[in-house]
Amino acid sequence: MMNKLSEEQNLTSSRNRSLNFVNIKNFGFRYGVIFAFVVLIIISSIVYNGFLNPTNILNMLSQLAIIGIMAAGMTYVMITGGLDMSIGGLYAATAVVAASLVDSTSIFVAVLVGLSVGLIAGLLNGVLITYLKVPPFVATLGTGSIFTGFALVYSKAQPFFVKDPAYKFFGSHYIGPIPVSVIILAVIFITLGTILSYTLYGKALYAVGGNNEASRLAGLKTNRLIISTYIICGLCASMSGIILSSRLAQGQANIGESIVLDVIAAVVIGGTSLSGGQGAIWRTFIGGSILIMISNVFDSLSISTYWQSIFKGAIIIVAVMIDFYGRSKIQK
């Protein structure tokens, strides 16, 4: 009896010890991305003198704007355990539609219609995925192709040029020293970040992603919650489309091809889980920044974009591996 008791004590104490170890590890998995971010900044500033120059920073942020805004929307979708592959097509479709309307109507109408495209597209994705039970990857791959096709048909594969110089406001203007697109980025990140972390709605999204069935049984309207994330994601993609068409003063249908991967990369590198339930907007900010910083430094060292692509792919794989490895460790 005594033996057994001391055995149990041993067991619990060793369990405690391993618990601490796991805690440190968990911490590493959870906040490792910040560490990586800081290390990258230090390395970058060493290899590239002008890296921390304010102009370069603002330049990087304005590059981040388009991918970052889309990635913020994607974070919502991925936290509920979904995925939106249609944002590339949607981004192009919005750019085309908005650009085509500026000169014939007004900037206000163009932006409004552009955002409506995102809203409707997101609703469509959401309904397909929830009520019609099409798996997210397939559903959005399909709708993405539809949106791209729509952009091509609508524009007859020709760019729409915008003559009204005021439309350049979103993409190329500054307020003080800060680009308008960066301000839009900041507003969207702060708003979406706050909603996700501090509201009941945000909590419900995490719950749905963490365990859909248990959430449904707890009375949450899981389908509506999921649809709402696709709508937010659609709106974000459209906002990016508007910024791009504004920056280029034209709308073109063939712009969205590779952007989806960059967006997903930004979210995943930040540490939002592919399987839902975990993640945050600040993570996506860091993930997106890491991507932009890498290409900024590579450009400054005049390394070809082909190499950048290889490097980016490798980072994504490592980030996902860390995610899965970390999760399986934590579960033990």
Partner 1 sequence: MTKATPIINITNLTKKYGEFFANQSINITISKGHCHAFIGQNGSGKSTLIGMLSGRIKPTEGNIFIDQNELHYGDPHSSREAGIATIFQELTIIPNMTALDNVFLGFKEGKSILVNRKKRLERFYELSKLLNTRISPNSYAIDLSVADQQILEIMRCLNLDSKILILDEPTSSLAQNEREALLEALMELKKRGITILYVSHHLDEIMKICDSFTVLKNGVVTEHSSIEGWTKQKIVHAMLGEEIDSDFKEILMQEYPHQIPSEEIILEVENLESFHFLKNISFTLKRGEILGLGGLVGSGRSAIANTLYGLGENCRGTLKIQGQCIKIPSTPRQAIDNGIVLAPEDRKKTGLHLGFEVHENINLIDLKRIGSYGFLSTKKSKKLAQQYIQEFKLTRPINSIVKNLSGGNQQKVLLSKVTSVHPKVLIVDEPTRGIDVGVKLDVLRKLKELAMQGMSIIIISSELEEVVAVSNRVLVISKGEIVSELKGKDIRVNKIVEATFLEGSHQT
For binding to partner 1 (CB under 8 A), which residues are involved?
A: 198-204, 206-207, 210-211, 213-221, 277-278, 331
**CA–CA gap between residue 228 and residue 248 (Å, rounded):** 30
Smallest gap, in angstroms, from Cβ of residue 132 to partner 1? 17
Q: Which residue has the tokens 């900041």?
A: 186
φ and ψ of 211, to 5 deg: -160, 95
Residue number, 142 or 210, with CB nearest to partner 1: 210
Residue number, 175 or 214, with CB nearest to partner 1: 214
Smallest gap, in angstroms, from Cβ of residue 26 to partner 1? 11
The count of other CB atoms within 10 Å of the CB of residue 41 is: 15
Residue number, 207 or 269, with CB nearest to partner 1: 207
The count of other CB atoms within 10 Å of the CB of residue 220 is: 17
Instruction: Quote the radius of gyration of the chain (alpha carbons, Å).
Output: 22
φ and ψ of 179, to 5 deg: -60, 145
Smallest gap, in angstroms, from Cβ of residue 203 to partner 1? 5
CA angle 218, 219, 224 (to 5 degrees): 125
Residue number, 7 or 257, with CB nearest to partner 1: 7
Residue number, 93 or 280, with CB nearest to partner 1: 280
**CA–CA gap between residue 290 and residue 271 (Å, rounded):** 12
Residue number, 47 or 217, with CB nearest to partner 1: 217
CA angle 52, 55, 60 (to 5 degrees): 75
Residue number, 201 or 307, with CB nearest to partner 1: 201
Q: What is the dihedral of CA 252, 258, 263, 268, to 10 degrees?
A: 170
Smallest gap, in angstroms, from Cβ of residue 218 to partner 1? 4
Smallest gap, in angstroms, from Cβ of residue 200 to partner 1? 4
CA distances to 3, 128, 138, 172 from 133, rounded to whole Å, are: 57, 6, 11, 41
Smallest gap, in angstroms, from Cβ of residue 52 to partner 1? 36
Residue number, 156 or 332, with CB nearest to partner 1: 332
Smallest gap, in angstroms, from Cβ of residue 221 to partner 1? 6
Smallest gap, in angstroms, from Cβ of residue 105 to partner 1? 35
Confirm if 314 and 225 have CB atoms less than 8 A apart. no
Confirm if 34 and 254 have CB atoms less than 8 A apart. no
CA angle 180, 183, 280 (to 5 degrees): 145
DSSP states of 293-305 = HHHHHHHHTT--H
